[in-house]
Chain A
Amino acid sequence: MSISDLHPQPSPAALLADAVASVRVAAEAFFAAQSDDDLVATVELVEQARAALAAVQAGGGGGGRHP
């Protein structure tokens, strides 16, 4: 029996709720105090997050038809 069987993954809604909370904290950051590298990484990650969210919006892996 694997550990993942004992600890089932949280639902997508729960995962996204955590992600949204984290993103809202990030939105309130004082960006003028961030380093150039952090800002560049933030801009790049925002685009990745935007793409990932579009995938979530479209539906889960396997076309969303599998249970």
Chain B
Amino acid sequence: MAEADTRDLAKQRPHHVSTQAWVTHLGGLRQGEGRRVVARAHALTGPLAATREALVAGRVSPEQADVIVKSIETPPVGEAVRRRGERTLVGQAGCLDACDLGRVGRHLVHVVDPDGEDHRLERQLAREERAAHLGRYLSIAADGAGRVRVTGRGCAEDGALLKAALLPLTAPAPAVDDRDGTLVPDPRDHGARLWDALVQTAQHALDTDLPRPRTAPRPG
């Protein structure tokens, strides 16, 4: 399979654009299965010789081999560590099913690359923030009854900035009763105080002589 993929033989067969598509069609597999089979073939004929040997001998099942391939190719570690990890997983394959072997593999990945999961989550967060930034919008629309509706969406970072600017201005402001001079609790609820803070901030911006920074778009 690996050699057939290297030579790109699938394109000699009609209607197949890749080895993965060819194998999927040939074996009547589910979509995506062909890719897994070809990835396994390359891994077993390349770096994972011990897994291949165990597979030929019947000591490792194809499902367990997939688990080993996935576990070993994940962490960014040196060849020696990979070989050691592979040997460990092949040794465990005799007494663990593919699910439990997968757990061992994930634990192994965490042991040899404890920061890997954090980096993956960081990358995911960065992707989500980029998507949120790209989808940002703010709308101030009159509703025809003398009011406006403000709606919007943005990334968490911008939201935190808005809160940092507005929340200090939302503290309840008790008033003094003109009749007896007692303090009257602020009648505004939190939403009203937040709105007032937004308007107050906008007014302050207009009243301030400081030049406003240009709003250059951040790279998406």
Residues of A at the B interface (CB closer than 8 Å) are 20, 24, 27-28, 31-32, 34, 36, 39-40, 42-44, 46-47, 50-51
Interchain nearest-CB distance for A49 vs B (Å): 11
The answer for the CA separation of A31 and B45 in the assembled complex, in Å, is 10
Interchain nearest-CB distance for B100 vs A (Å): 22
A44 cross-chain contacts in B, Cβ below 8 A: 26
- CB pair B12–A36 under 8 Å, yes or no, is yes
**B26 contact from A34, A36, A39, A47, Cβ within 8 A:** A47
B23 cross-chain contacts in A, Cβ below 8 A: 43, 47
Additional A-B contact list (11), CB under 8 Å, known A43-B4, A47-B27: A20-B58, A27-B56, A28-B56, A36-B7, A36-B12, A40-B9, A40-B12, A40-B13, A43-B22, A43-B23, A44-B26
The answer for the CA separation of A40 and B7 in the assembled complex, in Å, is 11
User: Can you give 20 contacting A-B residue pairs, CB < 8 Å?
Assistant: A24-B56, A27-B56, A28-B56, A31-B3, A34-B3, A39-B3, A39-B7, A40-B4, A40-B9, A40-B12, A40-B13, A42-B4, A43-B1, A43-B4, A43-B22, A43-B26, A44-B26, A47-B23, A47-B26, A47-B27
The answer for the CA separation of A52 and B27 in the assembled complex, in Å, is 12
B9 cross-chain contacts in A, Cβ below 8 A: 36, 39-40, 43
The answer for the CA separation of A31 and B46 in the assembled complex, in Å, is 13
B2 cross-chain contacts in A, Cβ below 8 A: 31
A39 cross-chain contacts in B, Cβ below 8 A: 3-4, 7, 9
State how many residues of chain B have any CB contact under 8 Å with chain A: 15
Residues of B at the A interface (CB closer than 8 Å) are 1-4, 7, 9, 12-13, 22-23, 26-27, 45, 56, 58
- CB pair B26–A32 under 8 Å, yes or no, is no
A34 cross-chain contacts in B, Cβ below 8 A: 3
- CB pair A32–B3 under 8 Å, yes or no, is yes
When C-beta atoms are compared, the residue in chain B nearest to A39 turns out to be B4
The answer for the CA separation of A42 and B9 in the assembled complex, in Å, is 12
B13 cross-chain contacts in A, Cβ below 8 A: 40
A31 cross-chain contacts in B, Cβ below 8 A: 2-3, 45
The answer for the CA separation of A25 and B208 in the assembled complex, in Å, is 85
The answer for the CA separation of A43 and B4 in the assembled complex, in Å, is 8
The answer for the CA separation of A27 and B9 in the assembled complex, in Å, is 19
A24 cross-chain contacts in B, Cβ below 8 A: 56
B26 cross-chain contacts in A, Cβ below 8 A: 43-44, 47
When C-beta atoms are compared, the residue in chain B nearest to A40 turns out to be B9
Interchain nearest-CB distance for A67 vs B (Å): 29
